[in-house]
Amino acid sequence: MSVVLTRRPRTHPLPGVPADRQRHARWMAYLGCAGAFGYGGMKVAWALGSRIGVRPSFRLAPAGLSLSAGQRFFEYWGTPILAGLAIVILLGLIHRRGNKRILRPLLRTLAWAGSLMVVVGVGGLIQIIRYYAGDRGIGQGDLDAGTYLFTYICFLMLGAGFGGTAWLTRRRASSSAPRALSTPT
């Protein structure tokens, strides 16, 4: 007796979106999640007192004593929370539960807004390339240049992930018939 194992047919969690676009959207979402996780992880490490990526001459000072508890919390944990929210948005776009009538447009709108991170990433990479090329007039602050490079690459990945996922998860036109080009008569 032989047993033949077959793969269960994949269900497509996003009705109206072709399967190949769903696959590409999944990879774009994972790319964005990697960028958000990288940047958020670095900020969590700093919030926990790590000196990763900080120049040796710089001391990470605790948040000012004049700040309230809420302000101090946001000073340390605001960016990691936003990075986690970015991951939720990206994964929500590719998951079937993110396909609700009200939730879907909200997620896509937030993803399109998040795609502006590409501009920040490209602008930062241009600045860091100029720094590595010898333009020392660009103030890099108290962080290593490699930390800025890592940060701007994360921003670029996050923005590309947002934009690519939002674009690839759009629904097909309601008509399944191909459009015919009209010719002037």
Per-residue confidence in pLDDT tens, the chain, 185 aa:
677 777 655 555 666 677 788 889 999 999 999 999 999 999 999 888 888 888 776 665 555 556 677 877 887 889 999 999 999 999 999 888 777 777 888 999 999 999 999 999 999 999 888 888 887 766 667 778 888 899 999 999 999 999 999 999 887 654 454 555 556 65
Bridge partners, residue 54, by sequence: 143
What SS3 state is found at 63? coil
State residue 92's pLDDT score: 92
Range of the domain at 123: 19-51+68-168
Q: Establish if 13 belongs to a structural domain.
A: no
Phi first, then psi: give them for residue 62, nearest 5 degrees.
Answer: -65, 160
Q: Establish if 182 belongs to a structural domain.
A: no
Burial of 35 by CB count in 10 Å (0-12 exposed, 13-18 middle, 19+ buried)? buried
How many whole angstroms separate alpha carbon 163 and alpha carbon 28?
Answer: 9
Q: Establish if 152 belongs to a structural domain.
A: yes
- Greatest Cα pair distance, the chain, in angstroms, is 77
Q: Global pTM?
A: 0.78
State residue 175's pLDDT score: 46
Q: How many domains, in total, are found in the chain?
A: 1
Q: Establish if 151 belongs to a structural domain.
A: yes
How many whole angstroms separate alpha carbon 175 and alpha carbon 146?
Answer: 50
State residue 120's pLDDT score: 94
State residue 125's pLDDT score: 92
